[in-house]
Amino acid sequence: MGALELLLLALGTALLFFALIPGAGAFSVRRQWRVFRRRMREASLAPFLHYADLAGAEGSRGEFRVFGELEAIQGRDRIWINTGEFTVEADLAGVRVYLLPSFSGAAGGMDALPDEEPAVAPWSRVFSLPSGMRLFVGGSLFLEEGRGVFRSGPRAPLLVVFYDGERESILKRAIWGGRKKNEYWNQFTPLSLLTGFFCLALLAYVSLRSSQAGLPGLLVLSLALAPVAPFLPPGVALYYLYRYFWKMARRLRAERDLLRLPLRYFPAGEAGAEKTARLPTGESYLMSREGSLAVEGEPETRRCARVPEAAESWLFGAVQERSGRRILRRPTDPMAELLRIPGDPAALAGRCDWTARWYELAAAACFGIGLGVNLFGILLLLARLLA
């Protein structure tokens, strides 16, 4: 094997096992969390299940959501949910369940939210749960033998989220934390890195023992050490800078999603216009400029940390008429919010998204430069040791 063929084979091996396979896993993980956040938003738009919905002909009854407590587990896949007014069942066969990180209450802004991703596991791997655990379920409801049963549909898997704290906080906690801190490190990464290291180490061994030993073999051996190279000096300083930029990009994406969250009730339309929508609970939900009506209670302020605030703020909340005046208040729907956003929410979310992309590019540049510097240093060190 010639030197050029050896280097091309080594580069292809490194690209496959150190970049493409973990990268494919990273895109898969990001997509899974994106689907989770979308399902949470969609479930928040479904009507709440009431006792009257459990009457009628058997079969599919449509999409519903319910808050409750785990009452009992029947068999392997059936659970009973106590809503406080009635009991409903859920069939968890083939369902992935989520557990939100602990949270003390509903008060506080984005900085008070836990910066941890929810724990997730297939129901088949959950062996025991204490009764009384709070959970949220959203999905298709079926009537079977006079009982209501939540079950996954052919295109809509059942959404099951266990949580503590107040129910008013679970949607924003899921949107904020429902993303992996480092998508590169996924289920495929450890085996892929080990396989790539051993393949490259074997190529380097064969090359260094042949009559063509020299620079090509040292280059291959340096590539084999690429998985640990970012953690070595001097490039480790750029690795920590990469982590900072990547963390900021992740935070900006979370802020973007929370800024867009109240807009899910309103169809896209004219920018800067007051809009009214109907919540699943029947309440009128209003998007209005601050100062145009009275507000009952203290709205949560939501902003993008890296984007300057606009002078004009927008309010979101349930609106009702009192003595000829319109009053904005907190909705009774726990998944709708009383909010104040300093600036146009859609424009702010777009700028958050744009800024997050620049942070991601800066993170990639820091990682790439640090890796290149350290690999060059490893090459020089190996050349001196094996000279």
Residue that finishes a domain, picked among 146, 177, 208? 177
Q: Give me the domain span that covers residue 267.
A: 257-350
Q: What is the CATH number of the domain that holds 58?
A: 2.40.50
Q: Is residue 82 part of a domain?
A: yes
Q: How confident is the model at residue 109 (pLDDT cuts 50, 70, 90)?
A: low
pLDDT(216) > 90: no
Task: Based on the fold, state whether residues 344 and 374 are members of the same structural domain.
Answer: no
Q: What is the pLDDT of residue 108?
A: 58
Q: Is residue 370 part of a domain?
A: yes
Residue that finishes a domain, picked among 177, 200, 229? 177
Task: Based on the fold, state whether residues 231 and 373 are members of the same structural domain.
Answer: yes
Q: What is the pLDDT of residue 274?
A: 87
> CA-CA distance, 271 to 158, in Å (whole number)?
35
| Average pLDDT, rounded, for the chain | 91
Q: How confident is the model at residue 286 (pLDDT cuts 50, 70, 90)?
A: very high
Task: Based on the fold, state whether residues 93 and 165 are members of the same structural domain.
Answer: yes
The residue among 268 and 207 whose pLDDT is bigger is 207
Over residues 255-283, mean pLDDT: 87
Question: pLDDT by residue (tens digit) across 299-312?
Answer: 999 988 888 877 78
pLDDT(294) > 80: yes
Q: Is residue 212 part of a domain?
A: yes
pLDDT(13) > 80: yes
Task: Based on the fold, state whether residues 237 and 367 are members of the same structural domain.
Answer: yes
Q: How confident is the model at residue 67 (pLDDT cuts 50, 70, 90)?
A: very high
Task: Based on the fold, state whether residues 281 and 321 are members of the same structural domain.
Answer: yes
Residue that finishes a domain, picked among 177, 201, 229? 177
69 touches 135 (CB < 8 A): yes
Q: Is residue 374 part of a domain?
A: yes
Task: Based on the fold, state whether residues 97 and 167 are members of the same structural domain.
Answer: yes
Percent of the chain with pLDDT over 70: 96
Task: Based on the fold, state whether residues 69 and 98 are members of the same structural domain.
Answer: yes
Task: Based on the fold, state whether residues 374 and 293 are members of the same structural domain.
Answer: no
The CA-atom distances, in angstroms, between 128 and each of 119, 149, 224, 270 are 15, 21, 43, 51
pTM for this model (two decimals): 0.92
Task: Based on the fold, state whether residues 77 and 9 are members of the same structural domain.
Answer: no
Task: Based on the fold, state whether residues 97 and 234 are members of the same structural domain.
Answer: no
Q: Is residue 249 part of a domain?
A: no
Q: Is residue 54 part of a domain?
A: yes
Number of domains in the chain: 3
Task: Based on the fold, state whether residues 108 and 97 are members of the same structural domain.
Answer: yes
pLDDT(386) > 80: no
Task: Based on the fold, state whether residues 63 and 150 are members of the same structural domain.
Answer: yes
Over residues 318-340, mean pLDDT: 92
Question: pLDDT by residue (tens digit) across 158-198?
Answer: 999 999 989 999 999 999 999 999 999 999 999 999 999 99
Q: Is residue 334 part of a domain?
A: yes
pLDDT(26) > 60: yes
Q: Is residue 195 part of a domain?
A: yes
Q: What is the pLDDT of residue 212?
A: 54
